[in-house]
Chains A and B, each alone.
Chain A
């Protein structure tokens, strides 16, 4: 391949044809400021509308400044990224954006994490020389996401995530000129749309235009109410990311410190969603084996592949977009909801607390979990199984509010009985983890033999769609894995057209699985962070004494004392659910 030679800031650089000036500069350690641009290399996700013009550079011999994110490097180019003209243009553009941006930085939910704020700081903007009309838009609050479009800078990252990555298609730029805004069709509110609340728009929004609904105030109120017993569960992906909020390196496991922090926040019992993940495997795994064995016996009515159902955004996605296939996913509730259902029955009885006096809080890497916990079917007489679901980010702000020096906290263990978990429960946090956990248990139940090696490397990885086979004592199990709803759509369309020959498929909505969830610390376009969390999750699994869900002693006890056996009537009532057709049908 003919390489391209050019000069950037007097440094020679050689790049492949097609490389942008931005990437060429980056390869020799020059960081041209950007705002609308975002690139997650490993995920193949890129937003480059070339709209904001913050990345303009001076190219010798060209009349106009060139936007570095969309201009390709050419042979012999002589580029100056910090000429006076480039700096002036960059500052002018930023000032113009700021002139139509509310000056609420001090009280904005995104303060300290805002890329526009950082940019203004980097460019040393101390005054805005432009004054003009400000755009105003109504605030839109849904069960999980708040849209404050006054703060939108039209970078269109959210639109790219919603359409190209997730193929949910709820957000689009609408209207024109000064009235342009990113909105759902007919500018309806999100809760009327097919939004899955995956939160990937929130994860990439550079400003405070898209944020999660804040439930920290409600949690503090519950904790300070002496008549309430408040318990907490923490999802597996949280422990692999929470440390980032306290300047620890990405991928630092903070399980013990997190537990200590929760106890100091005043939770009466600190439990683990991983326990409920083990429970999910018991139910989902049993359901899978039941379907598989009926299929192997020639039952033509049985639905295969089975699809996992732990992810609330994925559930809402198929309810809107593939309602004809709503009988294929497992009926097992998600670990969050299984935990809530068990906590408010089995555990409430054990500690002799009335359901209405028990408050269940979840710490989730996810914003869709807020919506899931509010779904009507997950409540008894109006009392929800899970009262509040807060994100990893919200937990970090609670820890800061409680004046805890997180990094100096001791390592503590979870409480029992709902805090005991296995390595299988931990890996629920990463793409491929749920199905690997299911295979570990399904193998042993199906064959009656003990697994020699519990690691199924073929199921791991960060590729968007993966296929693998697992040998279950001669039976070849065909498994599909997708993360990102656009990838899920591909597998679903294959099932619909009869092309799919999988026995089981795992789907997670967010890139990387829950570790890349919409409620995690902001990655700011650096996807190496997600990779490090991924590695941390498998490290935690490897370090666990028990690594198969059915060997969790407290799970065994829960079935003995309370549920009977997997898929029993009681288990069905408490741990399974059904799905709804949420599509629009046009009729005359």
Chain B
């Protein structure tokens, strides 16, 4: 027998989300969505637990997690930065904005800063093409972002700025 370790509150959180969806296999995507929004990511141990709760194979759970780019197995930063690289944002300079975020934070796409504060990901269209290029930090949307504004956006989330601490 091999043991998989998870913190008690994580087990409770995941079990509650699964129960909310009646532990139905068909609700896997909703369960993963809910779990990621609570935990920030979907580590292997959590996928094992979800598979058990929904009575399905962990390979299938992993298959879904790796199919959708939204799901991640690496912990996201406290302030996840998402740069839209959809068509409209792309043609209006999203690439340069992305490069500037990477340069300022010394971070690759899909990675998280050592202090766990920021992570960078790309997404495709948030439905605000009129504001292109669009950047999201957590739930907050920034429109018509230029590379010059990047430093300011980051600084909003640095220590000493309690307005956006959570």
**A583 at interface, CB cutoff 8 A:** yes
**B134 at interface, CB cutoff 8 A:** no
Q: Mark A549-588, 1 if CB is under 8 A from B, else 0.
A: 0000000000000000000000000000000111111111
Q: Taking A169-B56, A172-B57 as contacts, is the C-beta distance between A585 and B62 under 8 angstroms?
A: no
Report the minimal beta-carbon distance from B63 to chain A, rounded to whole angstroms.
4
**B47 at interface, CB cutoff 8 A:** yes
Stretch at the interface among A21-29, A173-181, A540-548: A173-181
Q: A172: which B residues are within 8 A, CB to CB?
A: 57, 59-60, 62-63
Contact A174 B6 (CB under 8 A): no
Contact A185 B62 (CB under 8 A): yes
Q: Mark B1-40, 1 if CB is under 8 A from A, else 0.
A: 1111111100100000000000000000000000000000
Contact A186 B62 (CB under 8 A): yes
**B49 at interface, CB cutoff 8 A:** yes
Q: B3: which A residues are within 8 A, CB to CB?
A: 584-587
Contact A586 B4 (CB under 8 A): yes
Contact A170 B59 (CB under 8 A): yes
Q: B4: which A residues are within 8 A, CB to CB?
A: 584-587
Q: How far is the CA of A585 from the CA of B8 in the complex (A)?
A: 14
Contact B59 A174 (CB under 8 A): yes
Contact B59 A588 (CB under 8 A): no
Q: Mark B115-129, 1 if CB is under 8 A from A, else 0.
A: 000000000000000
**A323 at interface, CB cutoff 8 A:** yes
Q: A169: which B residues are within 8 A, CB to CB?
A: 56-60
**B156 at interface, CB cutoff 8 A:** no
**B89 at interface, CB cutoff 8 A:** no
Q: B141: which A residues are within 8 A, CB to CB?
A: none
Q: Name the interface residues of B48-89: CB closer than 8 Å to any CB of A.
A: 48-49, 52, 56-63, 66-67
Contact A588 B47 (CB under 8 A): no
**B91 at interface, CB cutoff 8 A:** no
Q: Taking A169-B56, A174-B66, A184-B59 as contacts, is the C-beta distance between A585 and B1 under 8 angstroms?
A: yes
Which chain A residue lies CB-closest to B46? A586
**A141 at interface, CB cutoff 8 A:** no
Contact B52 A185 (CB under 8 A): no
**B44 at interface, CB cutoff 8 A:** yes
Contact B57 A176 (CB under 8 A): no
Checking B2, B44, B59, B60 against A585 with a beta-carbon cut-off of 8 angstroms, the contacting residue is B2
Report the minimal beta-carbon distance from B47 to chain A, rounded to whole angstroms.
7
Report the minimal beta-carbon distance from A486 to chain B, rounded to whole angstroms.
13
Contact A173 B48 (CB under 8 A): no
Q: How far is the CA of A585 from the CA of B56 in the complex (A)?
A: 15
Q: A174: which B residues are within 8 A, CB to CB?
A: 59, 62-63, 66-67
Q: How far is the CA of A170 from the CA of B2 in the complex (A)?
A: 17
Report the minimal beta-carbon distance from B74 to chain A, rounded to whole angstroms.
13
**A163 at interface, CB cutoff 8 A:** yes
Q: How far is the CA of A193 from the CA of B7 in the complex (A)?
A: 23
Q: B45: which A residues are within 8 A, CB to CB?
A: 586
Q: A175: which B residues are within 8 A, CB to CB?
A: 66-67
Report the minimal beta-carbon distance from A191 to chain B, rounded to whole angstroms.
13
Q: B61: which A residues are within 8 A, CB to CB?
A: 185
Contact A587 B5 (CB under 8 A): yes
Report the minimal beta-carbon distance from B31 to chain A, rounded to whole angstroms.
16
Q: B57: which A residues are within 8 A, CB to CB?
A: 163, 169-170, 172, 185
Additional 12 contacts, C-beta under 8 A, given A323-B1, A580-B1: A169-B58, A170-B59, A172-B59, A172-B60, A174-B66, A176-B66, A185-B44, A583-B2, A584-B4, A585-B2, A586-B52, A588-B11
A-B contact pairs, 17 of them (CB 8 A): A169-B56, A169-B57, A171-B59, A172-B60, A172-B62, A173-B63, A174-B67, A175-B67, A186-B44, A193-B59, A583-B2, A584-B1, A586-B6, A586-B11, A586-B48, A587-B5, A588-B6
A-B interface, 9 closest residue pairs, ranked by CB to CB distance from nearest:
A169-B57, A172-B59, A588-B8, A172-B63, A185-B58, A581-B1, A185-B62, A185-B59, A586-B4
Residues in chain A within 8 A of chain B (CB atoms)? 163, 169-176, 183-186, 193, 323, 580-588
